[in-house]
Amino acid sequence: MSKKQIDFENVLKHIYSELNKEVHRGQVASYIPELENVNPRHFGIHLRPIDDSPVGVGDFCTPFSIQSISKVLSLAYALKLLGADVWKRVGVDPTHEPFNFLSLTEKGNGIPNNPFVNAGAMVVSDMLYSHLEYPEREFLNFVRNLSNDSSIDYNKKVYTSEKANGHRNHATASLLKSLNNLDNDVEQVLDFYYLQCSLSMSCEQLSKSFYFLMNGGKNIVDHEFLSPSQIKRLNAIMLTCGFYNDVGGFAFNVGLPAKSGVGGGIIAVHPGKYCIAAWSPGLNEKGNSLLGIKALEMFTTETELSIF
């Protein structure tokens, strides 16, 4: 099927009407109490083709907590500011353990497996925290510039809720500190990490923010943020580490570089072609949006537009 023949609007409408009938939508994350207040019936998809009009269905304009999806944005910012030095303190390999396992830091002598497990994202946060004069404001500005959308913001309720219940993350950061891979105070790094995770975006804003990953490093208004070589690496890490301990399953079923978050969001990228965001708050047992995965699997199957 050639791309020109695809009616994206019809494809998305079909996927939405099929999946919106689903009764079993997984479990909304409860370990961050504020996330439990989200209505599990929400479901939205937004597609942004590189050379065609964007299309959205369902709740694609409703903002939600992007959680770990922010880890890609933090890494992008760190790569922009520090270049390849980032890789001295964090690895690029997938893990078969859940994203918040403490052993990730112990095994590698303080070098986390990759920047998308919590330990790795904390190390990236630490690098940014050292480098930025006003980390909270500068990170938000980076995201707003990248997406060309000044309305994107943190959700302070989610931030406070996670901070009050972040005992496991506290243990992870303390372990990193004891293994000499955090330069700043544990509390400062965690605060900044929770803020990043609390970023709130709709599917439409997500697909805008991740445009640079399908466009060789240039954002939606053609401003260059990263080089094509850096984009190659970011997309590779999304493909191999973006789905917790289910990257194999996601590559097999969907076949795109992607990142998920426990808020139920997923962003997926087909370099040079499109990016697509899906959101449904119910998660499967591995912490990924149940309906979101099904939607993306249907999309790449029906359009034959996976990277494989």
Q: What residues line the site for ligand GLU (CB under 6 A)?
A: 67-68, 99-100, 118, 162, 169, 197, 261-262
193 part of the active site:
yes
SS (H, E, C) 92-130: CCCCCCCCCCCHHHHHCCCCCCCCCCHHHHHHHHHHHHH
Minimum distance from CB of 116 to ligand GLU (Å)? 8
Residue closer to ligand GLU (CB basis): 63 or 271: 63
Distance, CA of 266 to CA of 248 (rounded, Å)? 16
**Which is the catalytic residue, given 186, 244, 254, 289?**
244
**Which is the catalytic residue, given 16, 71, 147, 209?**
71
In three-state secondary structure terms, 198 is coil
Residue closer to ligand GLU (CB basis): 9 or 187: 187
* Residue of 99, 273, 289, 265 whose CA lies nearest to 193: 99
Minimum distance from CB of 135 to ligand GLU (Å)? 17
Minimum distance from CB of 277 to ligand GLU (Å)? 15
Which helix (H) or strand (E) segment holds residue 186: the answer is helix 186-197
Q: Is 148 left (phi over 0), alpha (psi -120 to 50) or beta?
A: left
68 part of the active site:
yes
Q: What one-character-per-residue DSSP string does 72-98 give?
A: HHHHHHHHHHHGGGGGGTS-----SS-
**Which is the catalytic residue, given 16, 55, 68, 163?**
68
103 part of the active site:
no
**Which is the catalytic residue, given 262, 269, 280, 289?**
262
125 part of the active site:
no
280 contact partners, CB below 8 Å, separation of at least 6: 25, 26, 40, 42, 43, 44, 264, 289, 290, 291, 292, 295
Distance, CA of 104 to CA of 172 (rounded, Å)? 9
Residue closer to ligand GLU (CB basis): 60 or 99: 99
Residue closer to ligand GLU (CB basis): 110 or 264: 264
Q: What's the alpha-carbon Rg for the chain, to the nearest Å?
A: 18
Minimum distance from CB of 31 to ligand GLU (Å)? 7
Which helix (H) or strand (E) segment holds residue 141: the answer is helix 135-147
Minimum distance from CB of 223 to ligand GLU (Å)? 28
- Token duo for residue 29: 């994350």
194 part of the active site:
no
Residue closer to ligand GLU (CB basis): 118 or 219: 118
What is the set of active-site residues?
Answer: 68, 71, 193, 244, 262
